[in-house]
Each structure stands twice: as C-alpha cells, then as structure tokens.
A and B are shown apart, each in its own frame.
Chain A
Amino acid sequence: EPEVTQTPSHQVTQMGQEVILRCVPISNHLYFYWYRQILGQKVEFLVSFYNNEISEKSEIFDDQFSVERPDGSNFTLKIRSTKLEDSAMYFCASRYDTSSEQYFGPGTRLTVT
C-alpha cells in the first residue's frame, strides 16, 4: 500500500540553525500538508500546498517557515532560524483531492537545544 514517508525520523539542532524536514507524499496525490504536535499537546495545522503554491497557512507559519516541492516528489518544510519552541513532532500529510482521506507520514521529531 502506498504511504507517505518522512526523513529524518529525529533531528537534533541548535537554536538559530536552519533545518529542512523532508516528506515524500503518495505519488498521485495533489494536496500536501504540514502539521506539528508539541509534546503533550494537540496536533496543529501549519500549512497546505496545492498546485505548487501555499493555499492556506496558520498563524504559526510565520516568516521563519517555508515549504517547497522542489522536484515533483519531495515536499519540504524549512525552518530558517530554529527556536526552542519549534521542538515538536512534524507530520506531513497528503491527499488526492479535498474529499478524500488524508494520509499521514510517520513524523519527524525535531529537538532544538
């Protein structure tokens, strides 16, 4: 069965460093999402991406964040200058269209020290 994959599974970085989290959505899916979950809290929407552009973003997704689909298969989330409060699990998800199910990746645990 097709699945969403994410790399790395765990990333440790120092405050102020840039990180790129990578996702490979399911190949025929058209809508892509990033969510995050701070430890012990609920999952929160960050950004949605369709047709090579951001379609919606939350107030969390400030200028420090960016997304890209560089090559038609990868979908990346970049955090330019990480803060301690960026420590969280980041989930990528994809779906074929807006009426179909979202499939989640296994997540990347980001630890900012």
Chain B
Amino acid sequence: KNEVEQSPQNLTAQEGEFITINCSYSVGISALHWLQQHPGGGIVSLFMLSSGKKKHGRLIATINIQEKHSSLHITASHPRDSAVYICAVRFYGGSQGNLIFGKGTKLSVKP
C-alpha cells in the first residue's frame, strides 16, 4: 500500500529555533509536495520537489530519492510559522497528479 508517514505529529518550539519536519514514503514517487495548512483550514503549497533541495526565504526542503525521505526545515522560526505542515506525494502510476497526503505535523512556535 502506498503510504506517507510524517514525524513528529506535534512539535512545539521557541521562537528562533531551527525546526525539522520529516516525511517518508513507501514506494517510488514522481514528485513530493510540502504544504502549509493554516488554522482556518486553507492549504498553501510551499514546495514541489522531485530531487535535491529547494529554498524559499526561511524554508528549505530536501529530498533523498534513494532513501525515500524528505525534510522540511524552518530557520529562525517565528510564531507566524505556527500551522500544520503536510507532506503529499504523487506516486509513480498516479499519472494525473493525484496526491496522497501524510497526516501532517502540527507546529506551534512560542514567542
């Protein structure tokens, strides 16, 4: 079965801390997405990766295809980063781009 696992489920950090959220998946993928879901429910796409590393502001996403693992890093975390971060993948054979989602990591950054 095609699975996406995230860790940790919940994460509390102090403002300024470096944060890492992990995602692993069971079989080969054609792309991996990191998404941010705000308390109101809306989903924002942060990154789409198929290899290597991407950076946007204080956010960095990496993927290791051989190990079937991706990480999302937040540098100099801020309370406004508090949200649920979701890893979603498109497995090989998902030709229309359907995404399979992880359960999400709930991040709370305290001032």
Contact = CB atoms under 8 A, between A and B. Distances in A.
Q: What is the interface of chain A mostly: helix, strand, loop, or mixed?
A: strand
B48 A101 contact: yes
Interface stretch (A14-22, A63-71, A72-80, A103-111): A103-111
A48 B97 CA distance: 8
A31 B99 CA distance: 13
Contacts of A50: 96
Interface size class of B (residues with CB under 8 A): 20 to 34
Contacts of A91: 43
A70 B30 CA distance: 31
Interface string B81-111: 0000010100000111111111110000000
Contacts of B94: 56
A42 B99 CA distance: 12
B105 to A, nearest CB: 11
Interface size class of A (residues with CB under 8 A): 20 to 34
Contact of A55 (B40, B44, B48, B96): B96
Interface string A51-95: 000011000000000000000000000000000000001010001
Interface of B: 31, 33, 35, 40-45, 48, 86, 88, 94-104
